[in-house]
Amino acid sequence: MKIKVINGGMLTTVQDKGRYGFQASGVQVSGVMDWQAAYAANLLVGNDYGSAVLECTCMGPELEFHEDCLVAAAGGEPKLTLDGKPAEAYSAIRVKAGQVLKLSSMSQGMRGYIAVAGGIDVPEVMGSCSTNLKLGAGGLDGRRLGAGDVLSTGEPGTDAKEMLSGLKPCRRLQRTHAHEDMRIIRVVLGPQDDYFTSGAIEIFLSRAYEITADSDRMGYRLAGEKLERQIDGDMVSDGIVFGSVQVPPGGEPIIMMSDHQTTGGYPKVATVITADLPELAQSGPGTKVSFRAVSVEEAQAAYQEKLGQLEAAREVFENSRPASAAAGAALSGYGIKHYNVKVAGQQFEVSLQPVITRK
Amino acid sequence: MSARFLPAGDSAIAVEFGREIDLNINNQVAAMRTVIEAAIDEGKLKGIVELVPTYGSLLVVYDQLAVGYAGLIEQLKILAEGLEGVEISDREVVEIPVVYGGEYGPDLGIVAQLNSLSEDEVIKRHSEAEYPIYMLGFVAGFPYLGGMDKSIAAPRKQTPRLKIPAGSVGIAGQQTGIYSVESPGGWQIIGRTPLKLYDADREKPILLRAGQSIRFKPITEAEYEAMTE
């Protein structure tokens, strides 16, 4: 199936979970900024978690579909239209051949994700479909999408075909997430927190920092109280991860995001936990964030809880049978509205009422 | 030398052997990477996503769904303890053919002049030394090298060039390096290698590896042309 790009939007690239295994050679990981939204979009159209999606920033693309297909958008509450009529995010959408889907803007965040049943089909480079703009590799010829580009998609799964033919209702997820004015971002201290005075650590974990306009897929520069060091001088470069909070001599932190360089020579006071990267990815310039320290174990539990909600939703969608009690509880955090249940060959649509809300 | 195990978030551990540029420390990093890779190959260590060696530490990126934090640190500690007292074997030396001067190395004359040496003497000193690769980074396939003869040092150019071809060999301060991809840059360019340090279409896209050493071998323009055909 082919998709023609009518307008590429502000910055739309093909991304997947990232290019791991080549950081030792200086190749950045890249990959989606908001793993949770990318997973949700893929889940809605029956794709694997890691399938390649389109990630767009602020203003999304306008896409013309050459055949009937199933599409879903997720992220910072993207506003969608299909042939000019409003369409729903966080829901699988049946698109007919010739129709135009437009993701005009984000109402509550920075980034939107568009998944197409079968995934965006681009050649793998070093094991990944992610676009690395700096290297000009991966994705669509290593660059952002522009008008006139044509994308191919893979073979949709059985569920996607059944949703498209109307045999099954379209999958929907409902987010209960409301953004606060002050966003709490959890971190694990280290690996070089010992470079800073205890006063600086206290400041880092209590004051508000503002995301500046100098923020993109590579990193977010923050403005706020400066962090004083007790070990002066440069350190030698070492490895960086998505979420590393490095502090240049000026004292204002920079959070490394998905296009981060593989190594860096500034001490890293802390690392944002995987569970809170989506919140950060959807936070734009001007947003105030405040950091809280957690243990590695707490960070992992938080990630596994968020992942568990999506895994539980997948289980329900795929099996089309009543969820287990545990899956049901996990699902409620995500506010699943409808799902399909087959009892003795007969289809039922079931609604789930959220009983637990996320933080 | 004992290693420190520092959390880099919930999916990576920095195994730190030292915080300075020192060949012994870097050899420990390379050895640790080798024993971890062997343990993975033998099926003794699970859940490792990738290893990122740098000057003084090895970043171990892991899948938190496949291996626990505390358990992984225990396993890494045992591997690190096994390194103590082990003689670090000599570095593998990779030969990099370079055509010096002319259009391939437009700044060779400047480097010679700055150091009051003949161009041939700069070539001799540059190609005699063995350069340990401490790490790769900055861009794909770019090696951070040590070991340059200080007598051929040269400051960066006042105005960086907008486009330096991949394979260019340069000097910046007391460092020498090879541009692995075409990029802008301010290094004094003294030569060029026909080898591709990065080639996405090659089975092994990256030519060099941290822990190796390189030696430059002077070649003629004709040899260069023959190697690029």
Alpha helices (runs of H) in chain A, residue ranges in sequence order? 35-44, 158-165, 198-204, 277-281, 296-319, 325-334
In the predicted model, is pLDDT for residue A346 greater than 60? no
Q: What digits encode the pLDDT tens for the residues A82-140?
A: 999 999 999 999 999 999 999 999 998 999 999 999 999 999 999 999 999 999 999 99
Asked if A328 and A259 sit in the same domain, the reply is no
Q: Are residues A317 and A222 in the same domain?
A: no
> Do A262 and A321 reside in the same domain of the chain?
no
Tell me the C-alpha distance between A217 and A42, whole Å. Answer: 21
Asked if residues A132 and A19 have their Cβ atoms less than 8 Å apart, the reply is yes
CATH 3.30.1360.40 range(s) for chain B read 4-83
Q: Which residues of A touch B139 (CB under 8 A)?
A: 26, 134-135
Please report the pLDDT score of residue A180 as a whole number: 67
Beta strands in A52-172 (DSSP E): 53-57, 62-65, 69-75, 78-82, 85-87, 93-95, 100-106, 111-116, 120-121, 150-153
Amino acid (1-letter code) at residue A32: V
Distance from CA of A270 to the nearest CA of B (A): 7
Please list the alpha-helical segments (H only) found in A143-295: 158-165, 198-204, 277-281
Give the chain A residue whose CA is nearest to the CA of B133: A25
Q: What is the mean pLDDT of residues A138-154?
A: 97
Same structural domain, A12 and A156 = yes
The whole-number average pLDDT for the span A5-11 is 98
Residues with Cβ within 8 Å of B120's Cβ and at least 6 positions away in sequence, in order, are none
In this structure, what are the phi and psi dihedrals at residue B119, rounded to the nearest 5 degrees? -60, -40
Structural domain span for residue A326: 299-351
Per-residue confidence (pLDDT) for residue A69, from 0 to 100: 95
CA-nearest residue to A275 within chain B is: B10
Q: Is B21 on the interface with A (CB under 8 A)?
A: yes
How many structural domains does chain A have? 3
Residues A206 and A338 in one domain: no
B112-142 pLDDT, tens digit per residue, is 999 999 999 999 999 999 999 999 998 899 9
Distance from the A135 Cα atom to the nearest Cα atom in chain B, whole angstroms: 7
Distance (Å) from the alpha carbon of B113 to chain A's nearest alpha carbon: 32
Residue A77 has pLDDT above 50, yes or no: yes
Q: Kindly identify which residue of chain A lies nearest to residue B208, measuring between CA atoms.
A: A25
Q: Please give the CATH number for the structural domain made up of B4-83.
A: 3.30.1360.40
Which DSSP state fits B90? P
pLDDT value, residue A176: 61
The average confidence (pLDDT) of chain B is 94
How high is the pLDDT of residue B84? 76
Q: What pLDDT is stored for residue A357 in this prediction?
A: 38
Confidence at residue A320, expressed as pLDDT on a 0 to 100 scale: 60
Q: Do A68 and A147 belong together in one domain?
A: yes
pLDDT value, residue A348: 47
> Which residues contact residue B208 at a Cβ distance below 8 angstroms, ignoring those fewer than 6 apart?
B94, B133, B136, B141, B143, B197, B214
Interface test with B, best of A236, A259, A294 (most B CBs within 10 A): A236
The 10s digit of each residue's pLDDT in A164-194 is 999 989 999 977 666 666 799 999 999 999 9
Q: Pick the more confident residue, A312 or A351.
A: A312
Binary contact (B56, A21; C-beta < 8 A):
no
Q: Is B131 on the interface with A (CB under 8 A)?
A: no
Q: Dump pLDDT digits (tens) for A11-31.
A: 999 999 999 999 999 999 999
pLDDT value at residue B67: 97
Dihedral sign for Cα atoms in the order B183, B184, B187, B189: positive
Q: Are residues A208 and A147 in the same domain?
A: no
Q: What pLDDT sits at residue A324? A: 45
Residue A329: predicted pLDDT:
47
Q: Are strands B93-100 and B213-218 parallel, antiparallel or unpaired?
A: parallel
The answer as to whether A357 is a domain residue is: no
Chain A contact for B57 (CB, 8 A cutoff): yes
Q: Which of A169, A286, A125, A292 is CA-nearest to residue A221?
A: A286
Architecture of domain B93-228: Beta Barrel (2.40)
Which of the 8 DSSP states describes residue A139?
T
Q: Which residue of B has its CA nearest to A239?
A: B59
On whether any CB of chain A is under 8 Å from the CB of B23, the answer is no
Give tens-digit pLDDT for B145-158: 999 999 999 999 99
Closest CA to A332 of A171, A173, A169: A173
A34, part of any domain: yes
| Burial class of A355 by CB neighbour count within 10 A (0 to 12, 13 to 18, 19+) | exposed
Instruction: Please say which residue of A165, A199, A222 terminates a domain.
Output: A165
Contacts of residue B6 in chain A, CB cutoff 8 Å?
190-192
- Chain B residue closest to A308 (CA)? B65
Measured between beta carbons, which residues in chain A are less than 8 angstroms from residue B49? 20-21
The pTM for the full model equals 0.90
A238 and A160 assigned to the same domain: no
For residues A57-66, one letter each, b for 16 or more C-beta atoms within 10 angstroms of the residue's C-beta and e for the rest, the string is bbbbbbbbbe
Complex confidence, ipTM: 0.91
Look at residues A281, A282, A253 and name the one whose alpha carbon lies nearest to residue A267: A253
3-state DSSP: chain B helix, strand, coil percent, rounded to 5?
25, 30, 40
Whether the ω angle into residue A267 lies within 30 degrees of 0, i.e. cis, is no
pLDDT of amino acid B69: 97
Nearest residue on chain B to A186, alpha-carbon basis: B9
Determine the Cα–Cα distance for residues B42 and A38; give it in Å rounded to an integer.
Answer: 34
Query: Whose CA is closest to A54, among A148, A122, A147, A134?
Result: A122
pLDDT value of position B90:
78
Cβ pair A25:B10 closer than 8 A = no
Is residue B184 within 8 angstroms of chain A, CB to CB?
no
B71-130 residues touching A, CB cutoff 8 A: none
* Torsion from C-alpha of B112, B113, B117, B123, nearest 10 degrees: 10
Interior/surface letters A281-304, b for 16+ CB within 10 angstroms, e for the rest: bbbbeebbbebebbebeebbebbe
Q: A-side interface with B, Cβ within 8 Å?
A: 20-27, 125-126, 134-135, 137, 187-192, 235-239, 241, 243-244, 261-263, 268, 271-274, 296-297, 299-300, 303-304, 307
3-state secondary structure of A237: coil
Q: What is the mean pLDDT of residues B27-51?
A: 96
Q: How far apart are CA A227 and CA A235, in angstroms?
A: 16
Instruction: Evaluate whether residue A37 is within a structural domain.
Output: yes
Does the pLDDT value for residue B55 go beyond 80? yes
Q: What is the reported pLDDT for A62? A: 98
Instruction: Name the packing angle between helices A296-319 and A325-334 (round to 10°).
Output: 100
Q: How far is B222 from chain A (nearest CA, A)?
A: 30
The pLDDT-based confidence of A322 (bands split at 50, 70, 90) is: very low
Portion of chain B with pLDDT greater than 70, in percent: 97
Which of A24, A191, A243 has its CB closest to that of B53?
A24
CB spacing of B53 vs A134 below 8 angstroms = no
Residue A272 belongs to domain with CATH number: 2.40.100.10
Q: Which of A330, A272, A338 is nearest to A306 (CA)?
A: A330
- Kindly state whether residues A200 and A157 are assigned to the same domain: no
Based on the fold, state whether residues A161 and A68 are members of the same structural domain. Answer: yes
Co-location of A324 and A340 in the same domain: yes
Confidence of residue A321 (pLDDT cuts 50, 70, 90): very low
Those of residues 141-170 in B touching chain A at CB distance below 8 A are: 141-142, 144
d(CA A45, CA A269): 39
The answer to whether residues A24 and A119 belong to one domain is: yes
Verify whether the Cβ–Cβ distance B141 to A271 is below 8 Å: no
Nearest to B10 among A126, A263, A303 (CB): A303
Q: What is the 3-state secondary structure (H, E, C) of B157-205?
A: CCCCEEEECCCEEEEEECEEEECCCCEEECCEEEEECCCCCECCCCCCC
